[in-house]
Amino acid sequence: MNEVTLPDLGFTWNEAIDMLKSTGVDLGLNVLTAIVIFYAGRWVINIVMRGLRTVLQKQQIDKTLETFVCNLVRIVLLVFVIVAAISALGIQTTSFIAVLGAAGLAVGLALQGSLSNFASGVLIVLFRPYKVGDFVEAAGISGSVEEVQILTTVLKTGDNKRVIVPNSQIMDSIITNYSANDTRRVDMVIGVSYSDDLDKVRQTLKELVAAEDRILDEPACTIAVSELGDSSVNFVVRPWVATADYWGVMFDMTEAVKKRFDEEGISFPFPQRDVHVYNASAEA
């Protein structure tokens, strides 16, 4: 039987076996370290997230916004843990981060609109121009805020339609939050005839305001003549109410004014036009 001659590699087979064993042990230790870092990191993240939720709940942050912030923080922390685990394997994270950054840039260019919506969602969370349950007007849509999502805000209109508005459009528009303050002023314009007694009209309006329990004492209600119109003398009636009572007071006061003015004999003028008809044949 012929002997096989092995090439001279500069080290003996025993040394090669020792090197392989050493490399295997090092690789195993690296893998074990990476696993420990990953699971320990996840455990720390869970502790941090519980603490963050507790802080947000103490601040009485809206539930939707709380979820938004917690998800964002969890993703960021998880990325750091994954990078640390990869580094423990002996992989150069510098090149990995560079590749990840290049991929992120490519994705960002492809999803500019989505990233803009995401950034706007972050601004909504930070500055809180509105919260869930508020009635707002934004991006040309009026409705109650149902959800504040990462990319969109869900509104429910007065006729119960569900409207999903991109966050970027909301942040690029004027936002009117009708629920931000506890009180609102009801602006009413009441027109009466030039022949009516203005003092009687003013006194009647004061009595109607005093009879409405939902109208606040402070600030005081304004009742004044605002305009001498083409066919009417216009009074402004501006009571202050709790925000939740706005529409109820508006509707009930309008009805109460009509009924009371009818009882008092106060007239509601309306535009009139005289039409003169000429008989052309008779003139000829």
From residue 39, alpha-carbon distances to 31, 71, 185, 258 in Å are 12, 18, 57, 72
> pLDDT for 114-162, tens place per residue?
778 888 888 887 888 988 889 999 999 999 998 888 788 999 999 999 9
* pTM assigned to the model: 0.61
CATH code of domain 183-264: 3.30.70.100
Q: Report d(CA 97, CA 94) in Å as an integer.
A: 5
Domain boundaries, the chain: 13-110, 129-177, 183-264
Domain 129-177 in CATH 2.30.30.60 = yes
In the chain, which residues have pLDDT < 50?
1-6, 109-111
What sign does the CA torsion over 109, 112, 115, 120 have?
A: positive
Q: Are 188 and 236 in contact (CB under 8 A)?
A: yes
pLDDT digits (tens, 9 = 90+) for 79-121: 788 777 777 666 665 666 666 666 565 555 444 567 788 888 8
Architecture of the structural domain at 13-110: Orthogonal Bundle (1.10)
